Amino acid sequence: MRNTGILLFSLMLLSCERKVDLMFPKEIDYFNESFVNFFPEKVPLSYSKLIVSQDITHSHPHVWLKFYEGKEEISRLTLELEKKAKATYVSEDTCILSIDKHLNSQNWFRFDKNSRTKTEKDFSFNLCSKGNFPVPNFFEEGWGGTDSGLTGLEGYILYVIDAKSGLFMDSTKLPNGRFTPEGWKHGYSKGVAINSRLGIVIYWADIW
């Protein structure tokens, strides 16, 4: 009976993951305050990963947050996102509209999106992606896990909270608009990707 009590107590501790305030580094000032206003105020103490990138050479400015959650919180968040998402996509969908889809963990350093010279490379997009909202390509090490798809993710559902085409930041703080889909030379995308099986949550806010 005593062992059962210890087991139940341990399970209770695991299900009640302690959380701490989400703290952004000073680099977040690169973005408008409203850019990440949908990110959670608190994240699990045990593991969270945050990147605030101002890169306009290889990719584009973005803020990504990754952490693990329990089944109950995953279910709650999924229900919430299903109600407010503008669109929902499966990470392996070949018709997904991915920004910087040409990048992967092996080739990203070969591209210069800050260059103003013409390139002869062609990065066409599938016709079936027309009308879809853009999502990020999580090509950076430690975020995705695969170079075979358009998003760098496997087993995720991507919920697009907001996405618009146009200039929403000083053009000097953005890449040159090359390698982007027709109609999305510049724009932004915000959303959440969830892998329910692994309990992984990724928040994104990308602008290009």
For tokens 């969908």, name the residue.
93
The token duo for 11 is: 């399970």
Q: Is residue 7 part of a domain?
A: no
Residue 192 forms part of a structural domain? yes
At residue 142's C-alpha, the angle toward residues 167 and 128, to 5°, is: 50
Residue-wise pLDDT tens digits, 120-139: 454 567 889 899 999 999 98
6 assigned to some structural domain = no
| Helix (H) and strand (E) counts in the chain | 2, 10
pLDDT of residue 100: 84
Amino acid at 208: W
Q: How many domains does the chain have?
A: 1
- Residue 112 has a pLDDT of 63
Under the banding of pLDDT at 50, 70 and 90, the label for residue 17 is: low
Give the pLDDT confidence score for residue 6 in this predicted structure.
Answer: 35
Statement: residue 195 has pLDDT above 60: yes
Is residue 1 assigned to a domain?
no
Question: Residue 141: its pLDDT value, please?
Answer: 75
Question: What's the pLDDT at 115?
Answer: 57
The residue segments making up the domain with residue 100 are 19-207
Give the predicted TM-score (pTM) of the model. Answer: 0.85
In a domain? residue 4: no
Distance from C-alpha of 184 to C-alpha of 181, rounded to nearest angstrom: 5
Residues 6+ apart with CB under 8 A from 65: 22, 39, 40, 43, 48, 49, 50, 202, 203, 204
Confidence class of residue 140 from pLDDT cuts 50, 70 and 90?
confident
CA angle 20, 44, 146 (to 5 degrees): 135
> Does 185 reside within a domain?
yes
Question: Which tens digit of pLDDT belongs to each residue from 29-54?
Answer: 999 989 999 999 999 988 899 999 99
In a domain, 117, yes or no: yes
Checking if the pLDDT of 7 tops 60, the result is no
Percent of the chain past pLDDT 90, that is, above it, reads 62
Q: Does a structural domain hold residue 89?
A: yes
